[in-house]
Amino acid sequence: MQNVSFFRPLALLLFALLMSYLMLLGSGFFPHPTVQNVGLLALVLIWLNQSKLLFWGLLLPLVSLYALYAPIGLTFGPPSYQYAASVFATDLNEGKEFFQQIPFWHSMAGVGIFVGLFALQIFSKKRPLVAFQHPYFLGASALFIFICTPPFQFLQESYTATMQVKRELDKLNSLTIASEWGNSTLSPQSRYDDYVLVIGESARKDYHHAYGYPVENTPFMSSAKGTLIDGLTAGGTNTIASLKLMLTHPDAEKWEGNYHLTLIDLIKSAGIPTYWISNQGYLGTYDTPISSIANKSDEKIFLKAGDSLNQNISDFKLLPQFEQLISRPTKGKRFIVLHLYGSHPVTCDRLTDFPTIFAENDLPKKYHNVNCYVSSIKKTDKLLEQVYQTLKNNEQNQGRRFSLVYFADHGLAHQISEENIVIHNSSGKSKRHFDVPLFKISSDDNQRHEYHAFKSGLNFTNALANWVGIQNPRLNPQLDLFSFQADPDDYGLTQQIEKIDAPDDPAIPLPPLKK
């Protein structure tokens, strides 16, 4: 009987420690949990397990939250504004692809937490293990310890991130956000008729052959007569976090997007009609920050809306819509945005109508995802070539001069194991998240230029206005996206990136084809 008496509390302690370790690891905040943190959280778990009231009212919901997030935390990192924003903006198809990226063993961590909770119940005595048996005392003391320890950061950050996104969405959807640009004018430098902005998705600069990647996956961008900029830094590490800064004239000190000063409103303030054609999801009831900006356009087309919400639609489907718009006889200038789905994970799903560069049998299985990612960039390059050709044909037919700019909203990061290489959106795990391509080609370009110069994503709307030739008192007319001169200020962006303590993860070159 003495051995049984010793075994039960020892087993309970071991399971509590195991649960604590998995919960901390799965939160994403503790890649290497300390003995102190594991022990403190284990103590909280044991205390809360001593009362049915505390178990059902507090311990079970708390553990369930950690267990459900653990596979995500192990794969992508801690909860943040960017992931909370992604939850609000993700459609059904994106959600399915998101969970496909989670390795099986990461999912088992959540199962392990639930198994540990079940074991706590089995190995608990009928009487509490601590001298203080009153459930309210147990609950108050356990909560006090929990709040005073680092594990509370998971709940605190989750709540803060969710509330930040909710306030932003409430603001976007509760009222009409008026433009504060006032009236703008066009300078003599505004010499084109059609300005086309193509927004890429999840395209890291160092995976483009135009920027030195060994596989020739950007034949158009690598050779066309235009301007290639090496140095554009994205505003964030996912679509919403980045574009809300890049497509507005943001508060550079607080790093907040300003929806009263959007790019679309700026273009319209100069009397230029605006058009937005998107292959990104549009939820309808709740505008995301990006769809809210898009909705300010005079005309907008979302391929993923209504019945198409759960479909994997190719970016090539944007081309007929674009061709139809471009071919309309019109006078005056136009500003057109094409928002691609690009290289959004899972990248292999982007290639239903486009071949991979390497045959599957010619590469080790480990490189399957890299092959898809590199090939998805080639698909985007092909789309850019077709957009350019459409504009060129229209110039011949209608005499409309044009200028086309392509950039990507953010990059991705690697998760590498012996069996697999996954490229996904893992916030805080790569400084190269921020390195994105920037390319401009115009109807009158007759030379190719390549410049290495820092360009801040927080200056993007201002610099795009200068590209179009828009003058406004709020703008700095000296900012030039396509010159060899670096932006005068990065607003702390470099410092923010340097805080990422993850090891560098450069692009992974594909092995040569087998002979």
144: pLDDT strictly greater than 50:
yes
Relative to beta strand 227-233, strand 438-442 is antiparallel
Start-end of H helices in 28-103: 35-48, 52-54, 60-76, 81-89, 92-100
Q: 385 with 404: CB under 8 angstroms?
A: no
Residue-wise pLDDT for 112-130, tens only, equals: 888 888 888 777 655 554 4
**Percentage, residues of the chain above pLDDT 70:** 80
Asked if residue 483 lies in contact with residue 260, where contact means CB atoms within 8 angstroms, the answer is no
Single-letter amino acid code for the residue at 27? S
Q: Per the omega criterion (within 30 degrees of 0), is the bond before 346 cis?
A: yes
- For the chain, count helices (H), then strands (E): 17, 12
pLDDT bin (cut points 50, 70, 90) of residue 362 is confident
Sign of CA dihedral 432, 240, 349, 211: negative
Q: Residue 437 has what pLDDT?
A: 98
- Tokens in use for 398? 């209608």
pLDDT of residue 481: 96
Question: How far is C-alpha 440 from the chain's CA centre?
Answer: 23
CA distance 56 to 33: 27
Q: Write down the pLDDT at residue 33.
A: 84
Poorest-confidence range of 146-160, 270-284, 501-515?
Answer: 146-160
Q: Is the pTM of this model over 0.95?
A: no
- Strands 421-424, 413-416: pairing kind: antiparallel
The yes-or-no verdict on residue 155 having pLDDT over 80 is no
Mean pLDDT calculated for residue range 424-439: 83
Query: Would you state the pLDDT for residue 324?
Result: 96
Quick: pLDDT tens for 191-244.
999 999 999 999 999 999 999 999 999 999 999 999 999 999 998 888 888 899
How high is the pLDDT of residue 150? Answer: 63
Residue 482: pLDDT band with limits 50, 70, 90 = very high
Distance CA 417, CA 449 (A): 39
Tokens (6 digits) for 306? 């209504």
Q: What angle do CA 436, 437, 440 make, to 5 degrees?
A: 145
CA dist 183 and 192 (Å) reads 20
Among 419, 461, 441, 423, smallest CA distance to 206 is for 423
The pLDDT of 247-262, averaged and rounded, is 90
Structure-model confidence comparison of residues 324 and 425, the more confident one: 324
Statement: residue 281 has pLDDT above 80: no
Q: Are the C-beta atoms of 237 and 433 separated by less than 8 Å?
A: yes
pLDDT of residue 16: 84
Q: Where does the pLDDT of residue 284 fall: very low under 50, low under 70, confident under 90, or very high at 90 and above?
A: very low
Q: Residues 234, 411: contact at Cβ < 8 Å?
A: yes
Q: What would the mean pLDDT of 366-375 be, rounded to a whole number?
A: 94
